[in-house]
Amino acid sequence: MVLHTTVFEIGVTDLEKTRERELLLKRFFYSDRQLYQLGKLAAIEWFSMFDLKFTKDQYAYFAEEEKKEARVEILGIPDDQKFIDILNKAEPPKYMEIDRFIGEHYYYDANIGKFALGSKTGILREEVRDALKETKERGYSFLKAIIELYKKGKWDQAYGGATWINILSKIRELVGKYPSPRDLAILKSYRIYYKNGSNRYPTHTVPEEMIPIVDDELENWRKAVLGSA
């Protein structure tokens, strides 16, 4: 019985790590050339067939199925430390819409500039609590709306995040309070909320790997301040 539980837990952990690795690649190493660079740094033989292509052509790219396979090859690096070392040898984009990553297994902060193993979720919990102290129910309603839209699969498919119209509609549905511009600035300063998308089609997001922790702290705040109703 004990062995069965342990195997199950290891399986869950592996799935969580793979998901976090997928998000890391999606956020910081999304271009074809970056994926090629990672593959070569990892000495993965599969990438050698593209050496001529990427060496000779600065505009080289993978075909759709090749890009999927490139991701699979990189995600399959078995050793955690090797995976992190390779990310640190590569060059993340100079401009980042979301400039940090706080998962249960991996961590990155653009202010430090290094990927690392481990969890900083304790820091994240403190940041959410402090942000809610300042923004109160308005901040709660705004973050909760974004997360509920994520759970319902209603984030923008192209850019990620929720549209302003959908957020306002969800806040009304939750019978919440609308945030002020000051509230949004405060949430941004804690880096638990980001405005992304494009100038024409802006969206609003909580980084995906942070959602379970942020949502848990929102629920704790609701019970403590608004009651269980």
Domains of the chain plus CATH, in order, are: 2-92 (no CATH), 122-226 (1.10.10)
Query: In 3-state terms, what secondary structure has residue 98?
Result: coil
In the prediction, which pLDDT does 3 show?
38
What are 27-55's pLDDT values in tens digits? 999 999 999 999 999 999 999 999 999 99
In the prediction, which pLDDT does 32 show?
96
- Report whether 33 contacts 54 (CB < 8 A): yes
Tokens representing 126?
């403190």
Say if residue 22 is exposed, middle or buried (CB neighbours under 10 Å; 0-12, 13-18, 19+): middle
- Residue 150 CB coordination number (10 Å): 18
- Of residues 221, 135, 218, 219, the one with CA closest to residue 179: 135
What are 79-94's pLDDT values in tens digits? 999 999 999 999 777 7
- Of residues 163, 121, 129, 134, the one with CA closest to residue 146: 163
The residue to which tokens 């945030």 are assigned: 179
What are 166-175's pLDDT values in tens digits? 999 999 999 9
- The rounded distance, in Å, linking the Cα atoms of 212 and 11 is 19
Percent of the chain clearing pLDDT 90 (strictly above): 82
- Of residues 52, 16, 18, 54, the one with CA closest to residue 35: 54
In the prediction, which pLDDT does 4 show?
37
Listed in sequence order, the residues at least 6 apart from 83 whose beta carbon sits closer than 8 Å to its beta carbon are: 21, 77
CA 10 and chain centroid, separation: 22
Mean pLDDT per 10-residue section of the chain, whose length is 229 residues: 38 82 95 96 97 94 97 95 95 84 94 91 97 98 98 92 97 97 98 92 96 97 82
